[in-house]
Amino acid sequence: MAGGAEQPLRGRNDECEALDRLIEAARTGRSQVVVLRGEAGVGKSALLDYAAEHANGFRVVRAGGVEADVDLAFAGLHQLFAPLLDRLDDLPVPQRDALATAFGQSAGPPPDRFLVGLAVLSLLAEATADEPLICVVDDAQWLDRVSAQTLAFVARRLLAEPVALIFAVRDGHDDELKGLPELEIRGLSDGEARALLDSVIRGRLDERVRERIIAEARGNPLALLELPRDPAAAEGGFGRPDARAPSGHLEQSFVRRVQLLPMPTQKLLLAAAAEPVGDKALLIRAAKRMGITPDVAAHAEAEGLIEIGARVRFRHPLMRSAAYLAADVDDRRKAHRALADETDPQSDPDRRAWHGANAAFGTDDEVADDLERSADRAAGRGGVAAAAAFLERATELTSDPARRGARALAAAEAKFAATSSEAAYALLAIAEISPLDALQRAQAVRLRARIAFVQSRGGGDGAPPVADTALGLLDAARGLEGLDDALARETYLEALGAAMYAGRLCPQGGPIVVAEPARRAPPGPQPPRPNDLLLDGLAARFTDGHVASLPTLRTAMTHVLESAAHTDGDVMRSFWQGFPIAQECAAGELWDDDLWHDVGATAVRLAREAGALGMLPLALATRAGNHVFAGEFDAAAALIEEAGTIAHATGYAPVRYHAISLSVWRGAEADSKRLLEATTEVATSRGEGRVIGLVGFMTAILNNGLGHYSDALRAAKQACEHEDLGPYRMALAELIEAGVRCGDREAALEAVAEMESQAAAGTDWVLGTLARCHALVADDAAAEDYYREAIDRLGRTRMRVYLARSHLVYGEWLRRMNRRVDAREHLGAAHEMFVQMGSESFAERARRELLVTGEKTQKRPVGSGDGLTAQEAQIAQLAGTGLTNQEIGAQLFISAHTVEWHLRKVFAKLGIKSRRQLRGRAQAS
């Protein structure tokens, strides 16, 4: 029932009108995406045909998901965009190489699947330079996972291209397209159903049978077309009613029709169903091998079962599945064997291996070897999910128990890398009952612990507490000693990172439970890797204290950043080692604001260059933290918005901490309390004690800004109950200020003594902070020198929020000393800085103090006030540094057209006409 150019689809006026509007919007350069969702046979394919046929002036590219293809990485993406690859050379080199590697056209390091997504965005932009484009994907529930993820990412990033993406997805399937705009396709009304049935019935049909068919079809168009042809409807239609749902009923109808065909035709349809690519030449060769003569294909085509053109297509996807279901297991194996034998081992070895696997009975070591080689190739193309599938099947076909265990372990590792933790657990269980060697057993223990950590961070019922996973990783690290010392050290660092997340909730005294055995770990490779030094420094911090750890931490972070300057190899993994908390905490312990800035900037650069969108939201959040403490709230907001958008587009969990930090420093009381409460609940359920400390620190900042000093003191004390790296040292300063304002001088003096132990770092950041803390508790004769030292030292750092707060507390002290003119100078400086930053609470605190000095100060709106959104501000800043639209798009994972679209809005809002006028707005990075 495909619609022609003049023939509308029966009963689908609303749906066709919606598609017409979508096509016209895409024609004007406003990208469009829709997912048609409904049961099998409800008319989704017909609507796709309608859209393709009515997209006048559009270039049309099509693809269809095939269940047999779900484990072949990038198969669906390649099928859809193969017609556009003549524009491949027009892409930036990293994107071109990523796409070529993903599609098996060249060898190279595995590309991040979202760098492939960016390449697809750029390819779409290039392909639409001359004409608009419509991309039609049927049976999208059967796309291989990486293709589905990439297309979902692309769909969420499209904005200003003349492109329409239309997907059809069957009900009852979890898929990667959830959250995209949907059009639910329902059954026809009874009136339309009767009219459609009457149009296909030849001769008379008993009225009661007619009504039964309409009732059973439930408005499903394909059911109305197919049920009258069902052998069960013969003899007047009094066959046994089928009580199953329409999709199952339809499928059985197709199966019965196939079973009544001549056996050669059934075998031809079986081979075509088992060969998902639709390769005409391959099907003909395989059919010949199966003894099927050419006239059989002609008969099948004449009967309307399949179409044999440049590609072989079934009349409906349900006919494909029916042709496969109608055959017995032995015939299916024979069909796959013929296809495997006729598939070129040079040009398509992976599909040949997959057919061979489906042809195998029992164990088959030769096929298992082929699958293992295919897994290596899939992993090299970035197809981790495909590699896992190949290894899983290879495990099943392996006869030798030891090799089966090794393959099961490798498959479990691949499943874990593909974020399929449950499947990884199942394969790990197979490996653990196999005769593994000592190293393999230790690797299995490590994998089990890593899966547990991921589950603990994800939360949910049954997820283990983070502290338990830290101990599991510790056991794994110990087990690897003497077998693979380099891997043992990596695992110790992972265990220490998990223990740092657990913080106060980690048993036996917190992270020291891991730090002590980590100090005794075997030495790593020579020269030491950066993360070996980082492990030594962090372990020393917990066992020997802050001062003793500083030299090793300084050396470690210097090496980390030096190694990150070389982007070859696995630098992204080396830089993060799976636990970015280690980098941030090490830089913080050194009180080195330049180093902390460099960690954030390097993380973002590496993630962008590698296209590692799995790590980019975390890197962006770290960089946003740099901007928050530098008082660059708009820049921080842009990065946090980008991190959230990418996290949503990729399905990763958003990073909340720096979003809370920004809200707190802005003084947004209601929003901050809501975020803090929600984060506390999540952290408690997961056993993340460090996050509880961070919440206490952030709560203290919020209440100090609002002047709620007793609440600030209570929160700061909670944050300082344990030495969680990061929140502890900074919360001390909040405790001192709140304690002095509340009259709890004893608590403030104890915190000053603790803060003095931090001074060994010797940086302006720590010494300036310490001077401010001394000033707050000092007597009037000594306080002023401390205040001036704090302002002088912090003025040489990037910590502008603390410089402003030093001006504020100095001005407050001067006002109490009745030195109103001097007080106005510093209170005015603080007020101006806070207004420019966008810190409403601290700006209002400074304004109130100014009023007491007699200064008439109007309440001013905080922030830039230019009306730009966070993303517009970020694009304006990047354009102001001289980057081209294509370079900005590559950084922000959007297309150059979308950058241009945003810039037009920026120019209008700012009242400017050229990029040159943006240069003065560019902030130092």
pLDDT at 137: 93
Cis check for the bond before 527: say yes or no (omega within 30 of 0).
yes
Is residue 24 located within the same domain as residue 173? yes
Reply yes or no on whether the pLDDT at 31 is more than 70.
yes
Q: In this structure, is residue 812 part of a structural domain?
A: yes
Least Cα distance to 27 among 60, 64, 55 occurs for: 55
Same domain, 173 and 284: no
874 inside domain: yes
Q: Is residue 434 part of a domain?
A: no
Report the run of H or E that residue 308 belongs to, with start and end.
Answer: strand 306-308
Task: Indicate which CATH number applies to the domain containing 706.
Answer: 1.25.40
In a domain, residue 568? The reply is: yes
Tracing tokens 């079934």 back to the chain, one arrives at 314
pLDDT for res 670 = 92
H/E stretch holding 272 = helix 263-274
Same domain, 586 and 720: no
Q: What kind and span of H or E run contains 809? A: helix 800-816
Structure tokens belonging to residue 576 = 């993060």
Boundary residue ending a domain (314, 342, 370) = 342
For residue range 263-286, list pLDDT tens digits in order: 999 999 999 888 867 788 888 999
Q: How many CA atoms lie within 13 A of 520 on its CB side?
A: 7
What is the band of 243 on the pLDDT scale with cuts at 50, 70, 90?
Answer: very low
- pLDDT, mean of residues 18-35: 93
Q: Does the structure show a pLDDT above 60 at 238?
A: no
Looking at the fold, whether 153 and 279 belong to one and the same domain comes out as: no
Mean pLDDT, residues 763-791:
96
Lowest mean pLDDT among 133-137, 782-786, 900-904: 900-904
Instruction: Please say if the pLDDT value at position 552 is more than 80.
Output: yes
Lowest mean pLDDT among 205-214, 247-256, 376-385, 630-639: 205-214
Q: How many C-beta atoms lie closer than 10 Å to residue 865's C-beta? A: 10
Tokens at 118, concatenated? 């960016």
pLDDT for 239 beyond 50: no
Are 250 and 267 in the same domain?
no
Q: Mean pLDDT over residues 216-239, rounded?
A: 57
Tokens linked to 271: 């081979």
Distance CA 133, CA 193 (A): 34
Query: What was the pLDDT predicted at 389?
Result: 83
In DSSP terms, 33 is beta-bridged to: 165
Q: Indicate if 619 and 661 belong to the same structural domain.
A: no
Specify the pLDDT at position 5.
40
Whether residues 93 and 20 fall in one domain: yes
For residue range 304-353, list pLDDT tens digits in order.
Answer: 888 887 778 787 667 787 888 888 999 999 999 999 999 888 878 888 88
Distance CA(575)–CA(563), nearest Å, equals: 8
pLDDT in tens, 652-679: 555 677 789 999 999 989 999 999 998 8
**pLDDT over 70 at 865, yes or no:** no
175 and 231 fall within a common domain: no
Segment 137-162 mean pLDDT: 86
Q: What is the mean pLDDT of residues 382-391?
A: 77
The DSSP H or E segment spanning 516 is helix 512-519
User: Which of 184, 216, 236 is the last residue before a domain boundary?
Assistant: 184
- What share of the chain has pLDDT > 70, as a percent? 87
Most confident residue range from 292-306, 396-410, 528-542, 591-605: 396-410
pLDDT of residue 232: 44
Percent of the chain with pLDDT strictly greater than 90? 38
Do residues 29 and 138 share a domain?
A: yes
Reported as a single tens digit per residue, the pLDDT across 591-636 is 999 998 988 888 888 777 666 666 778 888 888 999 999 998 988 8
- Average pLDDT over every residue of 806-825: 95
Flag the least confident range among 205-209, 282-286, 887-891, 900-904. 205-209
Residue 212, pLDDT above cutoff 70: no
Q: Who has greater pLDDT, 644 or 432? A: 432
Residue 869: pLDDT band with limits 50, 70, 90? confident
- The verdict on residue 827 lying in a domain is yes
Indicate whether 660 and 724 sit together in one domain: yes
Model confidence at 787, pLDDT cuts 50, 70, 90, reads very high
pLDDT above 50 (res 2): no
Q: Choose the final residue of a domain: 241, 258, 275.
A: 258
Band (789; pLDDT cuts 50, 70, 90)? very high
- Report pLDDT for 919: 74
Question: Alpha-carbon Rg of the chain, whole angstroms?
Answer: 33
Domain assignment of residue 609, yes or no: yes
User: How many structural domains are present in the chain?
Assistant: 8
Residue 107 belongs to a domain with what CATH number? 3.40.50.300
494 pLDDT above the threshold of 80: yes
In a domain, 427, yes or no: no
Instruction: Average the pLDDT over 697-710 and give the result.
Output: 96
Amino acid at 832: E
Residue type, 590: L
SS3 track for 619-668: HHHHHHHHHHHCCCHHHHHHHHHHHHHHHHHHCCCCCCHHHHHHHHHHCC
Residue with tokens 């100095």: 810
* Mean pLDDT across the chain: 84
Strand runs (DSSP E) across 369-451, as ranges?
none
**One domain for residues 20 and 126:** yes
Question: Residue 230: which residues within 8 A CB-CB, separation 6 or more?
Answer: 239, 253, 256, 257
Greater model confidence, 823 or 252:
823
pTM of the complete model:
0.77
Residue 363, domain member (yes or no): no
Q: Are residues 186 and 219 in contact, defined by beta-carbon separation less than 8 angstroms?
A: yes
Task: Look up residue 504 and give its DSSP letter.
Answer: G
Q: Name the residue with higher pLDDT: 895 or 129.
A: 129
Pair 825, 897 in one domain: no
26: confidence class by pLDDT, cuts 50, 70, 90 = very high
Give the Cα separation of 386 and 381 in Å (integer). Answer: 10
The pLDDT, as a whole number, for residue 245 is 43
Q: Domain range holding 297?
A: 261-342
pLDDT at residue 818, rounded to an integer: 93
- Render pLDDT for 429-468 as a digit per residue (tens, 0 to 9): 999 999 999 999 999 999 999 888 878 876 666 677 888 8
